[in-house]
Amino acid sequence: MTDEAPSPTTPDGDPGPANRRSRTITAGPNRAAARSYLRAAGMQDADFDKPMIGVVNTWSTVTPCNMHLDRLAKDVRAGVIAAGGWPVDFNTIVVTDGISMGSPGMKASLISREVVADSIELAVEGHQLDGVVCIVGCDKTIPAAAMALARMDIPGLVYYGGTILPGVLPTAQGDKEVSVQEVFEAIGAHSAGTLDDAGLKAVESAVCPGAGACGGQFTANTMAMALSVMGISPMGANDVPAVDPAKAAEGERCGRLIVERTLAGDNARKYITRDSLMNAAVAVSASGGSTNAVMHLTAIAAEAGVDFGVEDCHRACVEAPVICDLKPGGRFLASHLYASGGTRLVTQRMAEAGKIVDAPTVTGRSLFAEAAEAEETPGQIVVTTFNAPVMERGSYAVIYGDVAPEGAVIKLTGHKVDRFEGPACVFDSEEDAFHAVQDGSVGEGDVIIIRYEGPKGGPGMREMLQVTAALKGRKIENVALLTDGRFSGASYGFVAGHLSPEAAAGGPVALIRDGDRITIDVTNRRIDVDADLSARRAGHVAPALKPASGVFAKYRASVASAAQGAVTIPNPPPAQTPKSVAAKAHEKA
């Protein structure tokens, strides 16, 4: 190698930026030591003139969501090499919600989003890589990858490992397709005595047939679609199920595309904009997606410095009713959506209805050009139209009030309830609430409140799927559940999470007592309590927070409100502070 190798050129022949970053560690006599390490890792003279592409993987054998990602990385590497780049592999972590759900381990889940983003940044910046492909699977790795790309603003894309296929459960009426949602509901049925041990084991053994992330429009598939519509994932690549033979070609395409984007100098913030975030939020609503997307989209916006907040997510839901009949509120799974036409078809429907705007994507083509190639399977019934939606409203709403002056996110799929009023049953931990549901201490007409499970209080803001599934499994339907924690994308029922400020930050939810009358009014966007919380505050003594050490203590000390995406970056932008934008309009006279 010459010490001053010429830079690669763009397709137009002008001096290109393809290895402008990596040259700082590979070019010149002073970088001989660095080159010696890289030679040991396989690089030769000609390779030092190529863009160095990070292939960041969240592979792990602990979960079906990520256990196949090592194989997908081979395809990505092949694409990088074919396009003239040099792939460099790194690995980061995953915390699997399905395994940790309902346990203390779930506190690590949201925190892992920040750790994954941080570790991607450190590996890429530490080696001055020119571009990066992030291969992701379970829930938090998907937004974490986009957050890291937004933060670094270098050429990058996100490649999702794909959905799991449906499990098959033999029943007296014939084989039934099932997903992980059914096993959590089976736990509730088992505790109610309506499902025996053998029945529970049969469900447990059927729901996860192999590799891939949870099969409904739960958080993983919601965010995979959102990033495709945002343009930071190649349209179509995320849709292909994990074990589908077509996945190999998609991986190679991602490898080629990242080299193309690096040669073109297209940094991540070209694709992560206010317009693209709004497009993604509309897709979440139209697909009946997870409420967790509100937190993840606002976090990505914060990392990119884009003014986009929870009110924008709410507006997207007002504008986009649900047109996908997907679980947890509907009948079908992500694999069925793929077979029907996939994200392209949903995007085409949104574009034709004027719900989204055109924007660039990492394929090098515009979003509308990608949507124009949608191929709808004749006779499919998974995706409808906005003229005949599955639901007349969007999948969630952001609401305020006495209980949540900075906002809360209420799930609207799977039910038609607009107003609920009932006595509060207050619990200071998820475990206490779960046991109360299991032993029949709470029931029809109650408003279950689970507090001190927010970002700081947990710490880590656990999801409450085990509680909501237990309610459904016990056939307790006329009940509401409020929490400063989160809900899984698979949660079902009249539930509102992300209550802000959280109890641990002195939020009013900390002042509510058993028996207080709670009113939830979706139409007027209010959650209120029939009690004088101001009078209570003077004498309120907050309980000691749950002990936290290590990374949990670091997170508690630095995390922002759920209304700001629960990010840990210093001084996040206000992102349309909900109090100033919407809550004032809904203040009680």
Catalytic machinery residues: 488
Compute the 3-state secondary structure of the chain and give helix, strand, coil in percent, each to the nearest 5: 40, 15, 45
Which pair of tokens denotes residue 33?
A: 């030591």
Phi, psi of 156 (to 5 degrees): -170, 160
Which pair of tokens denotes residue 47?
A: 């390779």
Which pair of tokens denotes residue 189?
A: 């049925």
Exposed, middle or buried, 192 (CB in 10 Å: 0-12/13-18/19+)? middle
165 Cβ partners below 8 Å, 6+ apart? 209, 210, 212, 215, 241, 242, 243, 335
3 Cβ partners below 8 Å, 6+ apart? 27, 28, 29
Q: Please give the helix or strand (H or E) that residue 420 lies within, else none.
A: strand 419-427
Q: How many CA atoms lie within 13 A of 137 on its CB side?
A: 34
The amino acid sitting at 500 is S
155: Cα separation from own chain's centroid: 21
Which is nearest to 221 in space by CA: 116, 332, 112?
A: 332
Q: How many CA atoms lie within 13 A of 547 on its CB side?
A: 1
Query: Strand, coil or helix: what is 184?
Result: helix
C-alpha 332/C-alpha 347 separation (Å) is 18
Which is nearest to 320 in space by CA: 293, 359, 360, 302?
A: 293
Q: Please give the helix or strand (H or E) that residue 573 lies within, else none.
A: none
Exposed, middle or buried, 278 (CB in 10 Å: 0-12/13-18/19+)? buried
Sign, Cα dihedral of 102, 108, 113, 114: positive
The amino acid sitting at 149 is L
313: Cα separation from own chain's centroid: 14
Q: Check whether the bond before 573 is cis (ω within 30° of 0).
A: no
C-alpha 545/C-alpha 457 separation (Å) is 6
C-alpha 39/C-alpha 260 separation (Å) is 25
Note the helical H segments in 245-376.
247-264, 274-286, 292-304, 310-319, 334-340, 342-352, 367-371
**Residues comprising the chain, all counted:** 589
Which pair of tokens denotes residue 6?
A: 């010429």
Q: Please give the helix or strand (H or E) that residue 426 lies within, else none.
A: strand 419-427
Q: Check whether the bond before 155 is cis (ω within 30° of 0).
A: no
C-alpha 489/C-alpha 97 separation (Å) is 11
Query: Strand, coil or helix: what is 157?
Result: strand
Q: In what order do the strands lie in the sheet with 526-529?
A: 396-399, 407-411, 494-500, 480-483, 447-450, 419-427, 517-521, 526-529
Pairing label, strands 447-450, 526-529: unpaired
